[in-house]
Amino acid sequence: MSSEKVIYIDIYHPISEGDGLTFNNFNHLHKMNVKTSTDIGEIVEQLKLEIFKHYGDGLFIQAEEFKDFCYLNILILFGSEYDFLVDYIKSISEPFDGPPPEAEATRDIALSVDYIYSQKETTVLQNDLERFGVKSEVYFIKRKAFERGAGDYHENIILSLLSGAVHAVGTKITEHLIKKFDIHQNPQVYNISSEKILSYVSQETGIPKQHLSITERRNIENNKIEFNVINRYKVINVKYDKNSREIDYSIKDKNQTMI
């Protein structure tokens, strides 16, 4: 990941149902575009602390980090005052008013793991791959932090596999991943034709391809594959049936997928 990146920040306050436990809509409180060299993980942690100091509890933060940019969504559950968050962000960044960076496609071969609990685990995984003769780089990290009485933090990662005899050692890598990670972490090595997927989504939705990025890939029932493709405000879910070669997709506002 590059040391300096552009962050597209959106701050929301959810509107709750009568029971106060479920949400049916969101107030979009503020948006800002900044450039910073501060680590995204550090920013997420500090945003949590700032919300704790102001409200005591009640937050959802999602950071979708790529090489040169990051989408950062902040939900304040128990209030709509947000100036203290803007003050912190301004203290570690400068305004950015340039064109959006173009999304980088994944390599043909990728490795993904869900529910990584720290960046150290990602580094250890990359070191493990090097012992198999495979070099990798981080293509994508999704960080999620939630606090509402109980708390949760985890990261989902996608590594691009750059070099080495990936096909020759594929079985060994897969066996290592199965031993290293739990089933719910869904470790997988796969071929991915990102250009075809992004071209299809762009053609169907009218969103420029350079503003689309693949963030998730899952195997689902009956030989089907599911992808998530995102931009700043949308999540496009794409399902591909390898038998019939049929493709279906659906679009949601990103804030509707976060809680």
Count of all residues that appear for the chain in the document: 259
Do 197 and 134 sit in the same domain of this protein?
yes
Q: Which among 67, 258, 44 has a CA at the least distance from the CA of 159?
A: 67
Q: How far is CA 242 from CA 171, 186, 217, 239, in A?
A: 22, 20, 14, 10
Do 157 and 68 sit in the same domain of this protein?
no
Do 113 and 14 sit in the same domain of this protein?
no
Q: Which among 210, 247, 176 has a CA at the least distance from the CA of 100?
A: 210
Q: What confidence score (pLDDT) does residue 107 get?
A: 65
pLDDT bucket at 18, cuts 50 / 70 / 90: low
Sheet holding 234-241, edge to edge: 213-220, 224-230, 234-241, 247-253
In total, how many domains does the chain have?
Answer: 2
Do 115 and 88 sit in the same domain of this protein?
no
In a domain, 103, yes or no: no
In a domain, 102, yes or no: no
Asked if residue 209 lies in contact with residue 224, where contact means CB atoms within 8 angstroms, the answer is no
In a domain, 53, yes or no: yes
Do 113 and 191 sit in the same domain of this protein?
yes
Number of Cβ within a 10 Å radius of residue 170 = 15
In a domain, 10, yes or no: yes
Do 162 and 120 sit in the same domain of this protein?
yes
State which of 67, 95, 123 marks the end of a domain.
Answer: 95
Do 236 and 141 sit in the same domain of this protein?
yes
Do 139 and 174 sit in the same domain of this protein?
yes
Longest dimension (CA), the chain: 57
In a domain, 104, yes or no: no
Alpha-carbon distance of 139 to 136, in angstroms, equals 9
Convert the pLDDT of each residue in 207-243 to its tens digit: 999 999 999 888 887 788 899 999 999 999 999 888 8
- Residue 172 predicted with pLDDT over 80: no
Do 116 and 161 sit in the same domain of this protein?
yes
Average pLDDT over residues 133-138: 88
Convert the pLDDT of each residue in 29-41 to its tens digit: 999 999 999 999 9
- Alpha carbons within 13 angstroms on the beta-carbon side of residue 151 total 12
Provide the domain limits for residue 35. 5-95
State which of 66, 95, 124 marks the end of a domain.
Answer: 95
Q: What is the mean pLDDT of the chain?
A: 88
Is pLDDT larger for residue 49 or for residue 131?
A: 49
Q: Which among 167, 32, 141, 29 has a CA at the least distance from the CA of 94?
A: 32
Do 23 and 124 sit in the same domain of this protein?
no
In a domain, 34, yes or no: yes
Do 77 and 136 sit in the same domain of this protein?
no
In a domain, 101, yes or no: no
Do 131 and 47 sit in the same domain of this protein?
no
